[in-house]
């Protein structure tokens, strides 16, 4: 009786399909978490020219940051699963919005730097 129920529901096909869909999503989440763990904390920015500040910010980020943003963006564009698109867009949004707050000690007072 129990075996017939499993054959009717076809759990094998469902599990394989969900596993295929979740690997890119899990990869995007993994890259996002690793990126947040590897972001350096900067207390004082010492630059001669103020116009170099964006370059300093970009050069201080780890390479995995750029990899995570590009991967999540491409996943959002080409993923067929709506939940996958949503998760990858949230990963990009969190990376872009939260990185300055995590990187700089006091990000809301730029005159302090």
Please report the DSSP string for 65-77 in residue order.
Answer: HHHHHHHHHHHHH
Domains in the chain: boundaries: 23-112
| pTM assigned to the model | 0.71
**pLDDT at residue 44 in the model:** 73
pLDDT tens for each residue of the chain, 113 residues long: 444 444 444 445 555 455 455 788 999 999 999 999 999 888 777 777 777 777 887 888 999 999 999 999 999 999 888 888 999 999 999 999 988 888 877 666 655 54
Count of CB atoms situated within 10 Å of the CB of 113: 17
**Closest by Cα among 74, 65, 56, 62 to 94:** 65
């Amino acid at each position: 009786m129990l075996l017939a129920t499993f054959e009717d529901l076809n759990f094998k096909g469902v599990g394989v399909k969900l596993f295929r869909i979740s690997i890119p999503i899990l990869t995007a989440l993994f890259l996002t978490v690793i990126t947040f763990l590897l972001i350096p904390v900067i207390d004082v920015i010492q630059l001669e020219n103020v116009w170099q500040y964006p370059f300093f910010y970009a050069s201080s980020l780890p390479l995995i940051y750029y990899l995570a943003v590009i991967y999540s963006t491409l996943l959002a564009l080409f993923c067929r699963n709506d939940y996958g698109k949503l998760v990858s867009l949230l990963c990009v949004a969190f990376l872009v919005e939260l990185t300055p707050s995590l990187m700089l000690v006091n990000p809301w007072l730029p005159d302090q730097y």
